[in-house]
Amino acid sequence: MLNKKITVQDIADELGISRNTVSKALNNTGTLADATKSKIIQKAIEMGYKQFAYVNNTSLFSSNVSANKEIALFTHSMPNSTHFGSYLLSGFEEKISNQGYRLPMYVIRDNELNSSSLPSNFNPETIDGIICIELFDKKYSQLICELGIPTLFVDSPCTHNNSPVNADILLMENYHSTYNMTKTLINNNKTNIGFIGDIYHCESFYERWKGYCAALFDSKIHFDISSSILEDDKEPYGNSEWLGNKIMEISVLPDAFICANDFIAINVIKALKHKNLSVPDDILICGFDDSMESKIIEPHLTTVNIPSYEMGDIAANLLLSRIDNPSIPFRTMHVRTLVKFRESTGNILNEKR
């Protein structure tokens, strides 16, 4: 099985379900029961599907890896193959496997999140450390911290009106990149700029929001909340029809939108096309993450590049040092990012090359 390239159809055949159902689970789209999604992901990991290649590599099969040394991965939404977290985990897993650690994965289901209960197959007595990715529930994060196991959060629950979690935190640099992206738009006479995304979804989104607001403030531009879409993430940001209708409710179409990430930005571009609005002719769009899709969407998306694989190595160093010395003060580290100007911001692209 390891020498064969595993496909979505292979996983579907193994489980006796449709290819479409497997695709929904792996890409985190559509609506599936938590148990079904978890079963599909675990089977994909077991079979060595490319999206989870970092799990099924030498660390799981090498005789150099002690079965007693484990760092657990906790996630509520498994990063897909184009998400920065997938590349980060590749770098992380390579580093810890060289130190003799395995990386068992625990996908936290909604019922476990709501009841603040640990996965039934998780045994804290066997775990040396925990890495949390795409896990932003404050209460559940506190539960993990209270286990007394060295823990690292890659991104974290939003600290607005709250103190940070009692653990080490690794973030991509959000504030300055979003500030610089917004300031560049302003310097090119784009002064009516909106923001799209749930700013309290996670710490990264909140920092991007603060960078956007600071750029407006420093340019003496009044923030008009009516130019932004800030609903919480229970709303369907992945639904281009919903987004298009929300945009059309804005009385004066902004010159540009800063979007909390590429996923939202790409859906905004699709929504605008459905409303017969052109990017960048009618409005400019910016995202964040430099996802693979950002280079494919037409027009190509102005975004922010995250050194994801390198962040994985940094994450491993942070967590391993915490395992070696649990009493050191908690650390919050930011890894520098880089704005990538592309066609979705029009002429600004030419000026910033």
* Structure confidence by residue, pLDDT tens digits, 84-124: 888 899 999 999 999 999 999 999 999 999 999 999 999 99
Range of lowest pLDDT (32-36, 309-313, 345-349): 32-36
Please report the pLDDT score of residue 86 as a whole number: 86
DSSP for 130-157, please give it.
Answer: EEEES---HHHHHHHHTTTS-EEEES-S
Please report the pLDDT score of residue 37 as a whole number: 75
Do the two domains 8-172+308-335 and 175-305+338-352 of this chain adopt the same fold? yes
Q: Are 255 and 192 in contact, with CB atoms under 8 Å apart?
A: yes
CA–CA dist 346, 327 (Å, integer):
51
Q: Helix (H) and strand (E) counts for the chain?
A: 13, 11
Q: How confident is the model at residue 58 (pLDDT cuts 50, 70, 90)?
A: very low
Please report the pLDDT score of residue 12 as a whole number: 84
Q: Are 333 and 318 in contact, with CB atoms under 8 Å apart?
A: yes
Query: Which residues does 230 contact at the CB level (< 8 Å), separation at least 6?
Result: 195, 196, 197, 198, 199
Domain 8-172+308-335 falls under CATH 3.40.220.10: no
Q: Name the more confident of 197 and 54.
A: 197
Structure pTM? 0.84
Strand pairing partners for 248?
none
* Structure confidence by residue, pLDDT tens digits, 201-246: 999 999 999 999 999 999 999 999 999 999 999 999 999 999 999 9
Give me the residue spans of the domains in the chain.
Answer: 8-172+308-335, 175-305+338-352
Does the pLDDT of residue 290 top 90, yes or no?
A: yes
Give the class (CATH, top level) of 175-305+338-352: alpha beta
Please report the pLDDT score of residue 318 as a whole number: 98
CA–CA dist 263, 294 (Å, integer):
9
* Structure confidence by residue, pLDDT tens digits, 17-28: 888 887 777 766
In the numeric block, which tokens belong to residue 103? Answer: 């990386």
Please report the pLDDT score of residue 333 as a whole number: 98
Q: How confident is the model at residue 5 (pLDDT cuts 50, 70, 90)?
A: confident
Q: Which long-range contacts (CB under 8 A, 24 or more apart) does 18-26 make?
A: 26/51, 26/80
Please report the pLDDT score of residue 67 as a whole number: 52
How far, rounded to the nearest angstrom, does the alpha carbon of residue 190 sit from its chain's CA centroid?
28
In the numeric block, which tokens belong to residue 124? Answer: 């804290």
Please report the pLDDT score of residue 28 as a whole number: 62
Mean pLDDT (whole number) for 273-291: 96
Q: Is 273 exposed, middle or buried (0-12, 13-18, 19+ CB in 10 A)?
A: middle
* Structure confidence by residue, pLDDT tens digits, 59-95: 443 434 445 799 999 999 877 766 788 889 999 999 9
b/e burial code for range 79-94 (CB count within 10 A of at least 16 → b) = beebbbbbbbbbbbbb
Residue with tokens 């992901």: 41
Q: How confident is the model at residue 180 (pLDDT cuts 50, 70, 90)?
A: very high
Q: Name the more confident of 44 and 262.
A: 262
Q: Are 140 and 116 in contact, with CB atoms under 8 Å apart?
A: yes
Please report the pLDDT score of residue 51 as a whole number: 57
CA–CA dist 125, 148 (Å, integer):
11
* Structure confidence by residue, pLDDT tens digits, 153-166: 999 999 998 889 99
Round the CA-based radius of gyration of the chain to a whole number and report it: 21
